[in-house]
Structure 1
Amino acid sequence: MILLNASALKKCHLKKIVASCFFIHFVFFGTCQSANVFLERDFWKKDPGIEKIDSLIALGNDITELNNYKFDPICWAILEKVNNSTIQYLLSIKGNEVNKKTHDGRTYIFWAAYKNNVDLMNYLIEKGANLDIIDSHGYSLMNFSATTGQLNFKIYDICLEQGADINNQFNNDGANPFLLLMPYVKQPNQLTYFLEKGLSINSIDKYGNNAFSYACKTGNLTMMNYLLDKGIDPNANNGNSVIFACKGTRKSSNSIQVFQFLDSLKVNMLAKNQENQNALHLLSYRSKDKGIIDFFVGKGLSVNALDLDGNSPLSNSVKRNTTEMISYFITNGGDVSYIDKKGNTLVHLAVNRSDQEVIQLLHDQSCDLNIYNDDGLTPLHLAVMKSNDDQLIKFLISSGAKQHLKTSFGESVYELAIENELLKEAKVNIEFLK
């Protein structure tokens, strides 16, 4: 067994936490982009031809490389609707096999379905595409198509023709294609396809959420009323339809009229999901509608309620929402002394998003800038570890962050700065931290 002395342990700890912050910065801010032109999504927006692609391959660009999110050139080509003949050429190159795993464990046929490219789907099948793959989020090709709102039913025909069992298609939540497509259905006649294939209008997932619950994601009142007329219970799973309405989709969120409609149906406005999240937990990340926040606060929800992970609506807003909305949550009783399960204060959370305005707001609310989290780090330590310039660091110091405080392992802010590769690459002068 190799034993490390205290000095070695300290150095290992320092490298570990600095590397962690470097990774976080890369994920959120896109630092260290590859020089491979084929990994630039904008390149594929121009629908480059084969001759252009070959010339760039000759210059050393890798047409098979995966980026850090596991997207490769063919993914971008499909997503940007490059000519199919060009995509077919790319598929002929070694390293771009039809069943190559990409982002979230998806193969090219997933992306072809996502872009409603039926011709490419058929070509991939001719070349041996495997339709039995389940992606890393538990979606089959059919369910992925449904949950991304594909209303071209030829896509589902292809899946069935290749042996998919429509009665055995469930995601991790136990939802079938009928439920997953429900948020995107515009008119009742679009339900016919799956109903004629044997799926039931009374389908539920493993938590008891029904078609009405899923329709609430996009708040389509036409479909919601249709389902009510068919006897679908709006209060299934203790009113979880309000949770679905708060989630919305990536591209849409609901107006207050949807929540007022649910309220008129006596849906439980205090409902919580299996993570103990209520409506405010879900709305707090991105909602800019103060009227909706007022609506739920008026129903008795607290902006300080904790979910199973110890997150509150206020802390969620600090992580992602605007300064104006964070201030509004505070005005509605938000507890600025909040500390999460890892010992992070709201200031730690604000530093993680590198937002000086949010930090200033919290400082104006008398939030302490010098509290240690469970990793033995103050907000200033975090800023020094993750920043690629000195602006946030200097802002914190000028606001009262104490630069003489060391981490629980005895590292100074100057030592942390020395280990920050982002500061090195940007050639930031860190002598002011000595």
Structure 2
Amino acid sequence: MFFSTSFTSKTMKNTFGIFMVLLTSCSAGLRAHAQEPNQLLDREFWKSQPSLQMVQDRIQSGDDPTALNQYDFDALSWALIEDAPVDILRHLLTLEGNDVNKLTHDARTYVFWAAYRDNLAFVQELHALGADLSIVDEHGYSLLNFAAVTGQTNKELYQYLIKHGADPSREFNHDGAHALLLVAPFLQDGDLVQFFEESGLSLSDKDKHGASGFHYACKGGNVEFLRGLVAEGTDGGSVDHVGRNGGHYAAMSTRRRTNGVEVFSLLREFGLRLDLADDEGVTPLMIYVQGKSEPDGLAFLAGHTENLNALDKSGYSAMHHALASGNPEDVQGLIDAGWKSNPAMFKPESLVRALASNYASKNHDAFMSKIQMLRAEGVNSNQLLEGGESWFHLGARTQSLELLRFAALQRLEINQVSEAGMTPLLEACLTATSLDVLNWLVSVGADVEQTTPFGETAHDLAMENEALVSMNLDFLKP
């Protein structure tokens, strides 16, 4: 007999209880360990310029040097992007799971990231180890064109790629742009222009949208380079196939640079209309206020825009775009330039809906700044959003307790039913990954008896949510 007769029922219960506590503690410890972030997938780790020993220590502690993160970057990708020393690059490449042609973010192999950093020496090493230089990424960029669009101006890099099979005259991205057009925003002189001209390319060539080298160069905002192009006979006032002039492209800027007043002033000197609406009704100012502006540039563009409340074909004005995609500084810049809400042109609630369209909890402070600016301009921020929703619905869907608390302070109806027949609590049950938001909603009066148009309760929806199914959901039962 396994248990003696003295092993009572009470003793068994106590032992079982201790076992369960230990099991729970052990499981919690395992979960905590499993949830420790892989430092090798953290870009900040690589920005700190770690040594080879530090990288090896992280691997020894359990960080996987071959794992891909949610965006398909791995350790070697980040190491290349952040210009890690070659001994680290070589070590990571020797590890099983880091094949020389391994696909990472956007279906790019390591040789793409080496080219991105103008690391010709490592491009050559990778090639010697069997790297395929003919791969095209999922955005349609060949290695040659990826080097160009990311601003590489090292002629030796292009010479190497061409020597080993790249053909500038036959390689185009999805927009029909070749390497010379793509690198045009980053050019300082005519040296690389002449180099690509020898391969049959020209800045007068156009992509599928009718944009020439001048339009692409406007993105970079190099005033002297643009002056030189016009002096050589380039038509600075040309418009592409969708009605955009140089002002639109200058407003787009590049990832590296935000254009300022200098380039817009030059384009006006060339005779360009800086408030020209393209075929979709979009003006340069509408593009510029989407998070890529400088104060002086915004003031200049706004000052040369006849109607700050002009609408594009989607019904958005520059302010709508700033609220949806811009920074608080973009909103304030338009207000400083004289913007006022004009109910004759659009309903004020459309401004609030634009603000709601791209809400993210990580940007809640920026959201609150924009809300306060709208209020100061007399716009009621408590109007219903798209589909008859309230801020409660949006906070529930995005799992933002901050937005939910904001909605509560506005004294909005916690059980507001949207046009889709959903209350905030029902919405939250669909997207929740924890019980925090659900508990909060119930605590402030959310009705657990409310059902969807299909008769589903909050408890029903939560039970169908894989992230919640193992949790105690009794508090949601009607």
The separation in 1 between residues aligned to 2:287 and 2:392, in whole angstroms, is 29
Distance 1:423 1:73, change over 3 A: same
- Whether the 8 Å CA contact 1:36–1:61 is kept in 2: the answer is yes
- Decide whether aligned partners of structure 1 residues 202 and 429 sit closer, same or farther in structure 2, where only a CA change above 3 A counts: closer
CA distance in 1, matches of 2:331, 2:165: 50
In 1, the alpha carbon distance for the partners of 2:267 and 2:179 equals 24
**Change beyond 3 A, Cα 1:339–1:145:** farther
Does the Cα contact within 8 Å between 2:114 and 2:120 map onto a contact in 1?
Answer: yes
Identity level (%): 28
Distance 2:203 2:182 in 1: 12
CA 1:84–1:320: 2 relative to 1, 3 Å: same
Letter of the 1:337 partner, please give it.
K
- Residue from 303, 313, 318 that aligns with 1:313: 318
Partner of 2:135: 133
CA RMSD for the aligned pairs? 3.0
Letter of the structure 2 residue corresponding to residue 159 of structure 1: L
- State the partner residue of 1:195: 197
Task: Structure 1 unaligned segments of length 5 or more: list them.
Answer: 1-31
- Please tell me whether the aligned partners of residues 74 and 90 of structure 1 are also in contact (alpha carbons under 8 angstroms): yes
Conserved 8 A contact 2:399-2:432: no
Tell me the residue number matched to 2:386: 373
AA aligned to 2:417 is K
Q: Which residue of 1 aligns with 2:62?
A: 60
Query: Secondary structure at the residue paired with 1:406?
Result: coil
Per the alignment, residue 262 of structure 2 pairs with 257
Paired position in structure 2 for 1:27: none
Contact 1:112 1:120 in 2 (8 A): yes
Report the Cα offset of residue 192 of structure 1.
2.5
Once the two structures are TM-superposed, the CA of residue 67 in structure 1 deviates from its matched residue by 0.9
Residues 51-200 of structure 1 mapped to structure 2, 5 A cutoff: 51-200=53-202
Give the structure with higher Rg (CA). Answer: 2
**More displaced, 147-156 or 345-354?**
345-354
Among 32, 39, 42, the residue aligned to 2:41: 39
Indicate how the Cα distance of structure 1 residues 314 and 417 shifts in structure 2: closer, same or farther if over 3 A, else same. Answer: same
The one-letter amino acid paired with 2:47 is K
The DSSP-based 3-state class of the residue aligned with 1:116 is: coil
- The answer (yes or no) to whether the contact 1:113–1:121 under 8 Å persists in 2 is yes
**1:120 Cα shift?**
0.8
Cα distance in 2, alignment partners of residues 187 and 150 from structure 1: 14
The within-5 A match list for 1:334-373 is: 334-335=341-342, 337=347, 345-349=353-357, 351-352=359-360, 353-354=363-364, 355-364=367-376, 365-367=378-380, 369-373=382-386
The verdict on how the C-alpha distance between 1:346 and 1:207 changes in structure 2, with shifts beyond 3 A counting, is closer
Give yes or no for the alignment of 1:403 onto 2:414: yes
Is 1:347–1:369's contact at 8 Å kept on the other side of the alignment? no
Q: State the TM-score, normalized to the length of structure 1.
A: 0.82
Equivalent position amino acid for 1:383 in 2 = G
Residue 69 of structure 1: CA displacement? 1.3
Correspondence for 2:452? none
2:435 & 2:64 partners in 1: Cα distance? 28
**How does the TM-score come out when normalised to structure 2?**
0.75
Deviation at 1:371, TM superposition (A): 1.3
* Structure-to-structure mapping, 1:384-395, within 5 angstroms: 384-388=396-400, 390-395=401-406
1-side partners of 2:85 and 2:78: how far apart? 12
Shift of 1:279: 0.6
Report SS of the residue matched to 1:345. helix
SS at match of 2:79: helix
In the TM superposition, residue 168 of structure 1 has moved relative to its aligned partner by 0.9
Q: How many residues align?
A: 398
With CA pairs under 8 Å and 6+ residues apart, which has the higher RCO, 1 or 2? 1
TM-superposed CA distance for 1:425, in Å, is: 6.1
Which AA in structure 2 matches 1:366? V
Q: CA deviation at 1:72?
A: 0.8
2:274 aligns to what?
269
CA shift for structure 1 position 233: 1.1
Cα drift, residue 318 of structure 1: 0.6
Gaps of at least 5 residues in structure 2 are 1-33, 447-478
Q: CA deviation at 1:427?
A: 9.9
Distance 1:242 1:68 in 2: 36
**CA displacement 1:170-219 (0-9 Å, x = unmatched):** 12222211111111111233422212333224222222222222221122
The correspondence of residues 314-329 of structure 1 with structure 2, limited to 5 A, is: 314-329=319-334
CA contact (8 A) 1:280 1:293 kept: no
Residue 339 of structure 2 is aligned to residue 332 of structure 1: yes
Matched position secondary structure for 1:237? coil
